[in-house]
Chain A
Amino acid sequence: MRAGDRDAYAVLVRRYAADARRLAVLAGAGADADDVVQVAFVKAYRTLGSFHDGAPFRPWLLRIVLNEARNATRSARRYRAAAGRSAVLDAAALTVSAAAADDPAASALTAERRAELLAAVRTLPEPQQRVVVCRYLLDLDEEETATVLGWPRGTVKSRLYRALRKLRAGLEPAPGPVQEVDHG
């Protein structure tokens, strides 16, 4: 039974470690991402007992990860705010060029186009960036996104809608210079 507790929790950790790290990195935790993930899993374990029965684990865990990432990057965030930069997608920029050329998903999208998408997403206000990250980069559904970000579901829906509208306006026609997007 005691071993069972550990084994059972280890299964959860293994299953969700990659998701948790994706979010930690995308939330700007940078070099602290692995530590953020571990702390989040420890906190999740400690509070399992207070958690609502029957609710799914992943969004709840990711919410803890996001909070931890925010704590870990508070000073970095202040710097970014001063420099007018985006906190969410710094890591995405780093990995755009790192994506393997033979990745099957990459073949659907040129490196150039990925860079364009990144640039366009970066022009979005931060809440809209977060919703795009959750829905597309973490592949969460609307309800999971609402849990992770702590917003009502309607807010998730409307912010995603506005984000996509803005991206569409900025990105079409496809080979356009995204940097000149005017979103006033």
Chain B
Amino acid sequence: MDDVLDRELRAWGSTLGTALDDHGPAPDAVATAVLRRLDDTPATAPVPRRGPRPHVRRRIAVAALAVVVALGLTPPVRAAVSEWLGIGAVAVRPGPSQPSAGAPPTASADLSLDEAAELAGLTPVVPPALGPPDGVEVSADRRILSLTWGDGDDTIRLDQFADPISPVYVKSAVLGTTATPIVVAGHEAWWFGMPHDLVLLAPDGTERPESARVAGPTLVWLDDDGVTFRLEGAGRDRAAEIAASALGTG
């Protein structure tokens, strides 16, 4: 179908799409209007899920009460959105896991925590369970603040990013299979149990292929301030322990 007509139709479509977008409201305005409508319209009774998977039901049971009481939000909203968007600044797209992964890269010891905080505009959380980090770095675009402990195969890496709007990372995983939602200290978290592809995203949402690497098992969670944490290099139980300590309850 790669012929003149096909190309012409595509060119026409892209011109037309741009012209239509130019006449439309900004995406931010649409989001604001939709959220206002959601606030104004009383929520109807939550629609029961058709055959929820058992782990989802368990998680909803844990999380549902607090959510429903205050805003009348449908409990599975976050779960469903997480399945499309990942969690916080980590997006997830369906994809196969990888057979193996190396240790996460270590950060250099050149930067102090205060300098890093200044650069990233983010006060780094140092989980008491790990103690002072051996390495501290901030990505060139200043969106990611990373702490590392140890070196070689024992490296533990904790990335922190505050921007909840544009995803910073994309992980390939199958949610519900190679990625499972867990609850850590009352907070939603996702455990990516298998080595997987990890790609950095530019602020405009395009992938940075040069950043791609295979990441080992990783725990991702959000704190109450909306900061996303990505912990790589610890097993599931240890990772949950570190997350709980980072959240101030471990």
Contacts and interface: CB of A to CB of B under 8 A. Distances in A.
Contacts of A2: 66-67, 70-71, 73
Residue of B14, B46, B82 with most chain A CB atoms under a 10 A cut-off:
B14
B63 A1 contact: yes
A98 B18 CA distance: 10
A159 B80 CA distance: 33
A91 B30 contact: no
Interface stretch (B31-39, B103-111, B145-153, B230-238): B31-39
Contact of B46 (A49, A92, A103): A49
Interface in B1-46: 1, 4-25, 27-28, 30-31, 33-35, 37-38, 41, 43-44, 46
Nearest to A160: B1
A97 B55 CA distance: 54
A99 B15 contact: yes
Given A9-B81, A38-B37, A51-B80, A96 B16 contact: yes
B180 interface: no
The DSSP consensus for interface residues of chain A is helix
A7 to B, nearest CB: 5
Interface residues of B, number: 70
Contacts of B85: 8, 11-12
A81 interface: no
Residue of B53, B75, B164, B188 with most chain A CB atoms under a 10 A cut-off:
B164
A21 interface: yes
Residue of A4, A21, A98, A109 with most chain B CB atoms under a 10 A cut-off:
A4
Residue of A48, A91, A100 with most chain B CB atoms under a 10 A cut-off:
A48
B155 interface: no
A183 interface: no
Contact of B53 (A1, A53, A117, A138): A53
A46 B74 contact: yes
A38 B33 contact: yes
Contacts of A164: 1, 5-6
Contacts of A21: 20-21, 24-25, 30
B127 to A, nearest CB: 21
A18 B27 contact: yes
Nearest to B78: A5
Contacts of A17: 24-25, 27, 30-31
Interface residues of A, number: 66
Interface in A110-160: 113-114, 117-118, 132, 136-139
A130 to B, nearest CB: 14
A69 interface: no
A80 interface: no
B220 to A, nearest CB: 13
A66 to B, nearest CB: 15
A79 interface: no
A54 B83 contact: yes
Residue of B23, B28, B176 with most chain A CB atoms under a 10 A cut-off:
B23
A75 interface: no
Given A38-B33, A53-B83, A117-B12, A167 B5 contact: yes
19 contacts: A1-B188, A4-B188, A5-B73, A10-B165, A17-B27, A21-B24, A37-B30, A42-B38, A49-B46, A53-B80, A53-B83, A54-B175, A105-B15, A113-B8, A136-B13, A138-B13, A139-B17, A164-B1, A164-B5
Interface of A: 1-15, 17-18, 21-22, 25-26, 33-34, 37-39, 41-42, 45-54, 56-57, 91-92, 95-96, 98-100, 103, 105-106, 108-109, 113-114, 117-118, 132, 136-139, 164, 167-168, 171, 174
Given A10-B34, A25-B20, A114-B16, 13 more contacts: A2-B71, A7-B226, A17-B24, A18-B24, A21-B24, A33-B24, A49-B46, A50-B49, A52-B50, A96-B16, A132-B9, A136-B9, A167-B9
